[in-house]
Amino acid sequence: MSLPPLHLLIGSYTATGGGNATGISIVDGDVVSTVAVLDDPSFLAVDDHRVYAVSETVDGGVHAFRRTGSALEHLWDAPAGGDAPCHVRVDPSGALVVTNYVSGTVTAVSLEAAEAYAVPGGVGSGGAAAGGLVHGVGGQGAGVSAALPDAALATEVLPDATGPDEERQEGPHAHQSIATPDGTVLVADLGGDALHEFRISADAGSVSIEPLRVHHVTPGAGPRHMAWVSGSVSGSVGGDLVVAGELDGRVYRLRRDESGAFREVCATPVFDGPGVPSLLSHIEVDERGLVTVAVRGRDQIVVLDTADDGLRVVGAASAGGAWPRHFARVPGYLLVANQNSDAIAVLPLGDDGVPGEAVGQIAVGSPTCVIPLG
């Protein structure tokens, strides 16, 4: 089977985090190359011609690039507001939202302010766009740096909380943020078994994070990533929220009640019975309401149906490698970032949403995030 032409950005772990990559990679057909050298760019976000990357290190940072074709031009850097930033997302408010796992903090950066305050910071800035050069950050290469005023960044510390898993839930661990249909932001706290809801506002001069409420989930779930089941599929106003429980291997379906709180509709384990742990990672929902979730430990992709207010396992298949940390869809295929296999597995999708055996492997060091490019 011939593979479709692929154009992808890949986040990864570098030697700093025990990985084998050197930074952000780009896949352009059959060619894989490093386009930005930085420590542990474990998660990426793309917005038009801008690319944002975390650096998942102690006192981590977030970095912005301009993409031109297959090249990245380094634009600016900003502090992540905590340790080990593991997720970044462009929010409709105009803020870049960064979640910091180890410190349990959430940071918002005004993108308008960051662009306005970015100043030239080194010889050769702009060379990546002009000549396809690799750009580094944090002293590793040319580019520019954002001299942001204090008002352009805001950081919120999640409330101190613990969970029943003493090793993994000794304190709050912010893992992912997601926008809600109500114009707010939810942050999954793996350590505190909670979803924290905030209102984020941003403009050219300032950004703010307003805590609104805390939604508790089943103790020991360890919520990691979230996704929405659309209202047209779920029948609920605004849609239902599905949550991957990293620690208990269950997918949760939540719905807002009249008070505004998220309540559990149902929960389903992705695997029954004894065996290796089912450590859930990324989760997505397609337009039919089919939920796809990656399962590390078992190295599987599991598909569930959300019909009739339920969560029913449709099927499971090999992830095509070891430790599936993230995945993305392109027409007809699922692309799985198998961190411990140093490859992106290309899995054909069946009509039922369950992937088949891998038809290709894209070699890239310690991949942790895969983003298809238009």
pLDDT at 137: 52
pLDDT digits (tens, 9 = 90+) for 167-198: 999 999 999 999 999 999 999 999 999 999 99
Q: How far apart are CA 87 and CA 106, in angstroms?
A: 10
The pLDDT, as a whole number, for residue 138 is: 45
Q: Residues 219-239: what's their mean pLDDT?
A: 89
In this structure, are residues 10 and 344 in contact, taking their beta carbons and an 8 Å threshold? yes
Per the prediction, the chain carries an average pLDDT of 91
CA dist 101 and 168 (Å) reads 11
Residue 323 to residue 237: CA distance in whole angstroms: 36
Q: What's the whole-number mean pLDDT along residues 32-49? A: 97
pLDDT of residue 20 exceeding 60: yes
Q: What local confidence, expressed as pLDDT, does residue 233 receive? A: 77
Question: Which candidate, 152, 154, 75, places its Cα nearest to that of 120?
Answer: 75
Task: Evaluate if residue 111 carries a pLDDT over 50.
Answer: yes
At 79 the pLDDT is: 93
Cα separation of 369 and 294, whole Å? 12
Q: What is the pLDDT of residue 3?
A: 77
pLDDT at 269 over 50: yes
CA distance 97 to 198: 11
> In terms of Cα–Cα distance, which of 84, 76, 72 is closest to 34?
72
What phi, psi does 339 have (nearest 5°)? -55, -45
Q: Is 216 helix (H, G, I), strand (E, B) or coil?
A: strand
DSSP assignment string, 56-80 = -STT-EEEEEEEETTEEEEEEEEE-
Are β-strands 262-269 and 250-256 bridged in parallel, bridged antiparallel, or unpaired? antiparallel
Q: Please tell me the distance from the alpha carbon of residue 72 to that of residue 137, in angstroms, as a whole number.
A: 12
The per-residue pLDDT for range 127-163, each reduced to its tens digit, is 333 334 454 554 343 345 556 788 899 999 999 999 9
pLDDT-above-90 percentage for the chain: 83
pLDDT of residue 145: 57
pLDDT tens, residue by residue, 304-315: 999 999 999 999
